[in-house]
């Protein structure tokens, strides 16, 4: 049987870093639950703002939360009123002063999370799944990615039996650790059940510099001694 591994978890520490960056020895559980509360609250509040990723950076004296979004204007609100309201709400949920930063995603058609959410929204509006998948594939390839794979699973078009369909274009080297694979999962809540949408986007290989190669060779020599 083939074992399915999350492409992001497989590459953590190799060509991708964690979404939450901090260290704790005693307060690990408390910090973890705070991170979960922050992310759940922001995703619920900005459901239609196209949030791609929420990064949490903890320091001894403060917490920095970076929101990567497709629609920064919707997150900030008129004259920054919405973001101030959210910041005040978050202050009561965490144990340290919190600071919010917003980063705009320049090419949303090439980001796996945006593609998955877009297909899920179209399926909820009863658009034929094949058309939605093909449009997303074409948009991503036009955006300059090297490969895309989209899979949907469930009672497609209201069929009595659930099934899985997928479309693929370009290369998706899932076994190559240096390959920069962006992966996302989204759900379409339709009247006839939930349809799962998975998207893999290949953005080329992570380039290893000559200095990193030499450092790796030196480390290998030390280990061999």
Which pLDDT band holds residue 139 (cuts at 50, 70, 90)?
A: very high
How many domains does the chain fold into? Answer: 2
What digits encode the pLDDT tens for the residues 94-105? 888 899 899 998
Among the listed ranges 89-98, 151-160, 214-223, which one has the minimum average pLDDT value?
214-223
Task: Tell me the C-alpha distance between 216 and 184, whole Å.
Answer: 32
> Do 124 and 193 sit in the same domain of this protein?
yes
> Do 51 and 91 sit in the same domain of this protein?
yes
> Do 40 and 68 sit in the same domain of this protein?
yes
pLDDT at residue 66 in the model: 93
Indicate the average pLDDT of the chain. 88
Within a domain: 223: no
What average pLDDT does this structure show over 35-42?
Answer: 92
> Do 97 and 133 sit in the same domain of this protein?
no
Q: Tell me, what DSSP letter sits at residue 196? A: E
Burial of residue 145 (number of CB atoms within 10 Å: 0-12, 13-18, 19+): buried
> Cβ(90)–Cβ(83) under 8 Å?
no
> Cβ(136)–Cβ(118) under 8 Å?
yes
Write out the residue range of the structural domain in which residue 116 sits.
112-205
What average pLDDT does this structure show over 76-92?
Answer: 86
Within a domain: 222: no
CATH number of the domain that residue 184 is part of: 3.30.1140.32
> Do 123 and 98 sit in the same domain of this protein?
no
> Do 24 and 85 sit in the same domain of this protein?
yes
> Do 184 and 135 sit in the same domain of this protein?
yes
Within a domain: 119: yes
Q: Tell me, what DSSP letter sits at residue 60? A: S
Which pLDDT band holds residue 74 (cuts at 50, 70, 90)?
A: confident
> Do 149 and 171 sit in the same domain of this protein?
yes
What average pLDDT does this structure show over 127-143?
Answer: 93
């Amino acid at each position: 049987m083939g074992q399915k591994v999350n492409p992001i978890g497989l590459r953590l520490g190799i060509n991708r870093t964690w979404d939450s960056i901090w260290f704790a020895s005693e307060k690990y559980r408390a910090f973890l639950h705070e991170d979960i509360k922050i992310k759940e609250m922001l995703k619920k509040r900005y459901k239609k703002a196209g949030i791609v990723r929420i990064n949490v950076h903890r320091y001894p004296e403060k917490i920095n939360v970076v929101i990567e979004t497709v629609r920064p204007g919707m997150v900030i609100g008129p004259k920054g009123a919405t973001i101030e309201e959210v910041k005040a709400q978050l202050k009561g949920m965490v144990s340290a002063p919190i600071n919010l930063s917003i980063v705009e995603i320049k090419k949303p058609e090439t980001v796996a999370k945006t593609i998955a959410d877009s297909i899920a929204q179209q399926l909820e509006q009863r658009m034929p799944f094949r058309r939605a998948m093909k449009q997303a594939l074409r948009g991503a390839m036009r955006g300059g990615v090297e490969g895309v794979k989209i899979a949907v699973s469930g009672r497609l078009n209201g069929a009595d039996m659930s099934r899985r369909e997928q479309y693929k274009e370009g290369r998706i080297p899932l076994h190559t650790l240096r390959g920069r694979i962006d992966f996302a999962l989204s759900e379409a809540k339709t009247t006839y059940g939930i349809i799962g949408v998975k998207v893999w986007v290949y953005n080329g290989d992570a380039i290893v510099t000559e200095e990193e190669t030499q450092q790796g060779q030196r480390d290998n020599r030390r280990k061999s001694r």
